[in-house]
């Protein structure tokens, strides 16, 4: 079934990752499509700790949801070996199930050897009329094509057949030369002449004459076939290994992970009609043609914990959004069709999804319930954030009871294992960074939640320097760093940019430098972003 990726915002926090996992698990339990939890960015230490504690692997890491080769309905004709005869390749390429313009030729391990087209096979057949010579045709191929067998006593001594293919005419012995491949009917004199002159092979076509030579030892391979001489001659050329006429040099091919934009550009600049498709191990999985690029399928995605383009996975404009589940303000994500939308003023997106489990009469597994409880605790800062509602706390406590964990212990464990003060300032800045666009202004807000802000404040100067570098590189109006202390129930705010923005946003009478402590400020979404929004209208 087509996959649906459930993905949160870039630089994902615990709520973003867990809500994607929980929603995918819910939809799969309800028998929906193939929902896959994904993430856009690396896990932070808090989330990694929680996934390990409850026994989960990280969600799939998506760098982009741009349309790829794997998203299109490329052809999947059989891939054949280079040693099979041309006649077999012709049959495969013209079966009703295939009808493709090119057939991939592979090595024994499945890797690409070349590509053969119907045109190449037809060209080889026409060339055989003006140049009726075969070279080193495997005897097995020849016997298969002719539906024949060798009548020599030493039949096992023949491996390959070469020479000019000649249909012997009555009374014309001059055309029979040493090393040639002679086809004859009821013409004993022709057969004898071929053997005397050292023909490479004598083929008895639709006649019993070969019985007179059965069991004879000769350096000339003798074959009997039920076909007439003309058909046998055509089949000889069609018994040539297909690998010999396959295109192997300058061949254009694509991988499943290649983006369709890049593929389309390459196809426009090339002259081929068919292109092999390879997997990540360079094994052939199919072929694509130009018409596959006309109306490709787009990746289907559900956005959780965000609805803002600046925070969304790369390539979202090429994807089909089928759902949005969020607890933030409505922003600038647009959809081409009506979608399932659920936006509630609660402290955590995981709370919304926990409520959806309840509405469907389902309960997540104990391990997932514990992870969901942790996500709610994380996003509500142990229920102390102003975004937290009684509904969040009720759901988290219910999930924790089912999982057999204590909310207080879980909160202290996760916040003590969050961002480490030993990390470089630049890395801590990106630990949980979100970008916002407010009217004509843009800014970034990074946040670290901890039970001890002291070690982080020792890096104050480095933080401010990194913030200023980020602000200039991204052309932000202001770049902000929140070091939120759970126990002190407040935030150490560091910033780079115009101090008047911070002074006016938080009504500060005394602001010195680029650092201020904001008591009772815990939420980026509900306290810092709204305060800055009021300044910029």
Of 355, 381, 416, the position where a domain reaches its end is 416
Q: How confident is the model at residue 1 (pLDDT cuts 50, 70, 90)?
A: low
Contact in structure between 386 and 363 (CB atoms under 8 Å): no
Same domain for 368 and 429, yes or no, is no
Task: Specify if 370 maps to a domain.
Answer: yes
Domain that holds residue 497: 425-536
Same domain for 450 and 487, yes or no, is yes
Strand pairing class (201-205; 181-184): parallel
Give the model's pLDDT for residue 92. 87
Same domain for 452 and 410, yes or no, is no
On the question of pLDDT at 385 being above 80, the answer is yes
Per-residue pLDDT tens for 301-356?
Answer: 999 999 999 899 999 999 999 999 999 989 889 898 999 999 999 999 999 999 99
Per-residue pLDDT tens for 174-201?
Answer: 678 899 999 999 889 999 999 999 999 9
Same domain for 470 and 524, yes or no, is yes
Q: What is the average pLDDT across 372-389?
A: 93
Same domain for 438 and 528, yes or no, is yes
Per-residue pLDDT tens for 150-175?
Answer: 999 988 889 999 999 999 876 667 67
Question: Whole-angstrom Cα distance, residue 220 to residue 158?
Answer: 9
Task: Specify if 122 maps to a domain.
Answer: no
Task: Specify if 294 maps to a domain.
Answer: no
Task: Specify if 272 maps to a domain.
Answer: no
Of 416, 436, 463, the position where a domain reaches its end is 416
Task: Specify if 372 maps to a domain.
Answer: yes
Of 375, 398, 416, the position where a domain reaches its end is 416
Q: How many domains does the chain have?
A: 2
CATH of the domain at 38: 3.90.1640.10
Give the model's pLDDT for residue 171. 65
Same domain for 337 and 440, yes or no, is no
Q: How confident is the model at residue 66 (pLDDT cuts 50, 70, 90)?
A: very high
The listed range with the strongest mean pLDDT (19-23, 126-130, 327-331) is: 19-23
Q: How confident is the model at residue 102 (pLDDT cuts 50, 70, 90)?
A: confident
Helix or strand holding residue 518 (H, E): strand 515-519
- Interhelix angle 45-54/14-29, rounded to 10 degrees, is 40
Question: Whole-angstrom Cα distance, residue 533 to residue 537?
Answer: 6
On the question of pLDDT at 131 being above 70, the answer is yes
Give the model's pLDDT for residue 537. 65
Same domain for 453 and 523, yes or no, is yes
Give the model's pLDDT for residue 98. 60
CA dihedral 422, 425, 430, 432 (to 10 degrees): 60
110 φψ region: left (φ > 0), alpha (ψ -120 to 50), beta (else): left
Q: How confident is the model at residue 135 (pLDDT cuts 50, 70, 90)?
A: very high
Task: Specify if 30 maps to a domain.
Answer: yes
Q: How confident is the model at residue 38 (pLDDT cuts 50, 70, 90)?
A: very high
Q: Indicate the DSSP class of residue 85.
A: B
Same domain for 455 and 527, yes or no, is yes
Residue 125 burial by Cβ neighbours in a 10 Å radius (0-12, 13-18, 19+): middle
Same domain for 445 and 532, yes or no, is yes
Same domain for 410 and 321, yes or no, is yes
Same domain for 362 and 456, yes or no, is no
- Using DSSP's 3-state secondary structure scheme, residue 32 falls into coil
DSSP symbols for 169-187: PTT--TT--TT-EEEESS-
Task: Specify if 368 maps to a domain.
Answer: yes
Using the structure block, give the residue that is written with the tokens 């200023």. 468
Task: Specify if 511 maps to a domain.
Answer: yes
On the question of pLDDT at 83 being above 80, the answer is yes
Angle at 334 between CA 332 and CA 335, to 5 degrees: 160
Same domain for 511 and 462, yes or no, is yes
CATH of the domain at 442: 3.10.310.20
């Amino acid at each position: 079934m087509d996959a649906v990726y459930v993905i949160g915002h870039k630089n994902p926090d615990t709520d973003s990752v867990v809500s994607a996992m929980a929603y995918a698990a819910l939809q799969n339990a309800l028998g929906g499509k193939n929902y896959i939890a994904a993430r856009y960015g690396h896990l932070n230490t808090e989330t990694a700790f929680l996934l390990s504690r409850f026994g989960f692997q990280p969600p799939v890491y998506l760098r982009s949801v741009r349309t790829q080769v794997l998203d299109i309905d490329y052809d999947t004709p059989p891939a054949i070996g280079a040693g099979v005869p041309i006649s077999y390749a012709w049959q495969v390429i013209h079966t009703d199930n295939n009808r493709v313009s090119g057939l991939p030729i592979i090595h024994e391990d499945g890797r690409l050897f070349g590509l053969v087209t119907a045109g190449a096979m037809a060209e080889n057949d026409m060339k055989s009329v003006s140049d009726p010579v075969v070279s080193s045709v495997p005897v097995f191929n020849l016997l298969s094509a002719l539906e024949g067998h060798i009548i020599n006593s030493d039949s096992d001594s023949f491996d390959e057949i070469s020479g000019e293919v000649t249909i012997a005419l009555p009374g014309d012995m001059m055309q029979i030369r040493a090393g040639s491949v002679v086809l004859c009917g009821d013409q004993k004199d022709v057969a004898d002449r071929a053997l005397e002159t050292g023909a490479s092979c004598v083929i008895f076509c639709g006649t019993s004459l070969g019985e007179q030579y059965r069991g004879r030892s000769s350096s000339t391979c003798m074959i009997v076939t039920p076909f007439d001489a003309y058909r046998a001659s055509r089949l000889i050329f069609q018994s040539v290994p297909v690998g010999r006429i396959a295109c192997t040099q300058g061949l254009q091919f694509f991988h499943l992970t290649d983006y369709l934009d890049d593929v389309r550009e390459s196809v426009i600049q090339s002259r081929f009609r068919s292109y092999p498709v390879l997997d990540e191990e360079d094994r052939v999985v199919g072929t694509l043609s130009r018409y596959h690029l006309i109306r490709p399928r787009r990746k289907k995605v559900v956005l959780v914990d965000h609805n803002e383009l600046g925070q969304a996975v790369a390539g979202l404009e090429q994807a089909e959004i089928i759902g949005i589940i969020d607890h933030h303000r409505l922003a600038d994500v647009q959809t081409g069709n009506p979608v399932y939308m659920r936006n509630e003023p609660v402290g955590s997106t995981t709370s919304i999804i926990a409520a959806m489990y309840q509405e469907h009469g389902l309960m997540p597994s104990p391990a997932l319930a514990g992870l969901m409880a942790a996500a709610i605790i994380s996003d509500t800062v142990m229920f102390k954030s102003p975004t937290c509602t009684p509904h969040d706390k009720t759901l988290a406590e219910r999930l924790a009871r089912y999982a057999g964990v204590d909310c207080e212990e879980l909160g202290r464990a996760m916040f003590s294992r969050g961002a480490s003060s030993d990390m470089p300032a630049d890395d801590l800045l990106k630990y949980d960074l979100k970008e916002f666009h407010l009217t004509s202004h843009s800014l970034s807000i990074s946040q670290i939640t901890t039970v001890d802000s002291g070690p982080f404040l020792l890096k104050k100067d480095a933080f401010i320097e990194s913030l200023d570098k980020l602000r200039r590189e991204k052309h932000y109006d202001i770049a902000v760093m929140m070091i939120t202390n759970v126990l002190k129930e407040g935030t150490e705010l560091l910033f780079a940019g115009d101090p008047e923005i911070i002074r006016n946003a938080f009504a500060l009478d005394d602001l010195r430098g680029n650092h201020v402590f904001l008591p009772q400020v815990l939420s980026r979404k509900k306290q810092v972003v709204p305060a800055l929004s009021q300044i910029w209208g």
